[in-house]
Amino acid sequence: MTADPLRVRRLAERQRFDRAALDDVLDAALVAHVALVRDDGTPVILPLLAGRDGDRLLLHGSTGGGLLRAAAAGAPVAGAVTVLDGLVYARSMFESSANYRSAVVFGRCRPVTGQAKVEALRVLAERLMPGRWEEVREVTPKELAATLVLELPLDEASVKVRSGPPSEEEGEPAEDDWWGVVPLGTVAGVPVPAPGVRPGTPPPASVRGLVQKTQ
């Protein structure tokens, strides 16, 4: 939409170097895209459920197998989180763009094991489904053994942010010209009970909280 790739000065302005900006992006997303390099030298990407915990990004796969195990074994990864905050309608297509917050974390993952794994799962659950952990039964040792949680240290990261109105365009606008930003956001819809739920059963506090938070 824009010529940003070749406009170094503007790009440089979008680069952020503060840790708060990194945390802000990571905490706004539920999914991270994690890139690895395969044996043949080509890249691959895994989408993983993710949540920040202090100085590490916790990752939990919904796909994986060999690739997730390679990540667990310490293969170099890049973990990316992008939040699309809006579409930027400029007076020209060239200046049109998107408002976004994007972070890419570089490094190597470590598997979280032992008692720390239970705690990591709890933290991840709190990020993804706040309050749910306390509403359900405890994780069993068997379930724990079948679960893979990785941590990616937040030692090296690149953060980019674009926000605000469109860049100004040369030339006088027509009287009825409109340009600006359409904000985008994620909202929760009406919760759908599973077939086995007794009709009329209200959703638990965790679900009600999530729905309220996004409205």
Cα-based distances in Å from 25 to 30, 52, 105, 157, 209: 10, 10, 11, 11, 21
Name beta bridge partners: 150: 59, 111
DSSP secondary structure string, 95-107? T-EEEEEEEEEEE
Q: Which amino acid is at 92?
A: S
Minimum CB–partner distance for residue 39 and a second copy (Å): 11
- For a second copy, the binding residues in 132-161 under the rule CB under 8 A are 132-133, 136-137, 139-140, 143, 146-148, 160
Given the complex with a second copy, which of 44 and 116 has the nearer CB atom?
44
- Distance separating alpha carbons of residues 51 and 91, to the nearest angstrom: 38
Cβ proximity to a second copy: between 78 and 154 the closer is 78
193 sits near a second copy (criterion: CB under 8 A): yes
Minimum Å gap between C-beta 20 and a second copy is 20
What's the closest the beta carbon of residue 146 comes to a second copy, in angstroms? 4
Q: At 79, is the secondary structure helix, strand, or coil? A: strand
Judged by CB under 8 A, the chain residues 37 through 66 that form the site for a second copy are: 37, 41-45, 47, 49, 60-65
Indicate whether 17 belongs to the interface with a second copy (CB under 8 A): no
Helices (H), 53-131: 66-72, 115-128
β-pairing, 149-153 with 156-162?
unpaired
Among 19, 27, 84, 116, binds a second copy (CB under 8 A): 84
- Does 20 interact with a second copy (rule: CB under 8 A)? no
Check if the beta carbon of residue 102 is closer than 8 Å to that of residue 81. Answer: yes
Binder of a second copy out of 19, 74, 93, 116 (CB under 8 A): 93
Choice from 27, 74, 76, 163 touching a second copy (CB under 8 A): 76
